[in-house]
Structure 1
Amino acid sequence: MRRFRITVEGVAYEVSVEELDAPAAHPAPSPSSYPVASAAPVTGTHVPPPPAPRVEARAAAPGDVVSPLAGVVVSVAVTVGTRVEAGQPLLVLEAMKMQTSVAAPRAATVAAVAVAAGASVQEGQVLMTLS
């Protein structure tokens, strides 16, 4: 057994770890020989990150580009009035640490952008409208 001190968000924890694949050089001391330690007190105040912008969902209409999955908008590559070609990247979504590019389904002009970077979106939610 080896003892370690791990600090997570300013709180220190003492843990014992047993090495399963290591050769036994010394007999392991009994658990009763270790002092019982409690978690260290929090040394500062934890400030949570600000919430992501909330975007209201609406039903899709013709010309709408919808989210193929639930995730977070990483970046938006176009603005209202931008002329796009079929297959051109419109925005990037991230879900489970994987990034997915959402491309224009056809050549068109961006009429409206319904999301911004940092927004959480659901599958099927309208991201932007092309005309």
Structure 2
Amino acid sequence: MPIDPTQPYDNANIFAKILRGEIPCNRVYEDEWALAFEDINPQAEIHTLVIPKGAYVSWDDFSARANAEEIAGFVRAVGMVARDKGLVEPGYRLLANTGVHGGQEVPHLHVHLFGGQPLGPMILRR
């Protein structure tokens, strides 16, 4: 069920539990700013999630409250994962859902990194 990004951060969300080590994940990258792991229900040949280590509900929350060092560290981590996976060429897609209309389901900022295959159009027009 999509979440409302204006609600306070929920420490019981699945990504908070992964960050605390309460739930295992297939880690592919970690530094002081971010953790990247494979999605358990991949939607593409490569489907990796990258999350900041800070308690941020959404991209909006992160862009409003994170300091410059956290923002730079997270963005660099996303780029590092894409490079480590060899996705820069031929290309990849990043997706960060925010709020109900964006289809956000977990109330912790996360970026989906898709690649390894042609991904088709971004949004199908209705």
TM-score (norm 2): 0.25
Q: Which has the higher contact order (CA 8 A, sep 6+)?
A: 2
Larger fraction in strand: 1
Q: Over alpha carbons, which structure has the higher Rg? A: 1
Q: Report the TM-score, using the length of structure 1 for normalisation.
A: 0.24
Which one has the bigger helix percentage? 2
